[in-house]
Amino acid sequence: MKVLDRRERLEAAGAAVLFVVHDDPALVRRTMLRGLDVPYPVLVDPAREAYSAWGLRRASAVRIWGDPRVWMRYLRVALTSARPTRFGVDTLQLGGDFVVGAAGVVVYARPQRTDDRPPVGVLLREVEQVAASSPW
Amino acid sequence: MPAPPLELPDLDGLRVRLEDLRGRPVLVSFLRHAG
């Protein structure tokens, strides 16, 4: 959710943002969204049908838990949480970032292969390119 | 590639459709898990 720090650029581009989660809404509010001001819809997909439709798979346990960067991230979350952290039901589910153009075509797709995300600057550039090439 | 369908409830139960945002760029971010 690092894009939240660049809200002004998203708004300048006229962009909409949709977050999608698969965990229970109460848990999402207590963990991911705690202390955050999220002005965009957070959609809930418990059956993960949208994840599947957008090509997002589950990673192997080795791919996720064999990566020391993942351990560091989880450790950071645990150390900065006021209360014991509870994680979602499936830590192997992968996410991804997509930019959909004004005509409803995917112009950028970055499904995760491990617990990684593209730099926010890359996503913003894609969004701004769509905005610059759109007729409005 | 046309975007796959995306129509889901938000945290408050209100249905949101990607198609309704047609005409503007949309960043769709699927998150891994809560925690």
Rounded distance between C-alpha atoms, residue A34 and residue B9, angstroms: 20
DSSP state of A40: S
B2 CA to centre of own chain: 14
Q: Which of B4, B15, B19 has the alpha carbon at shortest distance from A49?
A: B4
**Phi-psi sector, A35: left (phi>0), alpha (psi -120 to 50), beta:** left
Ramachandran angles phi, psi of B25, nearest 5°: -65, 140
ipTM: 0.94
The model carries a pTM of 0.84
Q: Give the gyration radius of chain A's Cα atoms.
A: 16
**CB pair distance less than 8 Å for B25 and A131:** yes
Over residues A97-135, the pLDDT tens digits come to: 999 998 899 999 999 988 788 999 999 999 999 999 876
Over residues B5-34, the pLDDT tens digits come to: 999 999 999 999 999 999 999 999 999 877
A85 in contact with B at a CB cutoff of 8 Å?
Answer: yes
The amino acid that residue A135 corresponds to is P
A41 in contact with B at a CB cutoff of 8 Å?
Answer: yes
Place of tokens 């006229």: A14
Q: What is the mean pLDDT of chain A?
A: 87
A120 in contact with B at a CB cutoff of 8 Å?
Answer: no
Residues of A in contact with B6 (CB under 8 A): 18, 20, 43, 50, 53-54
Q: Which of B7, B10, B26 to mutate to test the interface with A (most CBs of A within 10 A)?
A: B26
Residues of A in contact with B31 (CB under 8 A): 1, 19-21, 32, 95
- The mean pLDDT values, 10 residues at a time, for chain A of 136 residues are 87 95 92 88 96 92 79 75 66 93 94 89 95 78
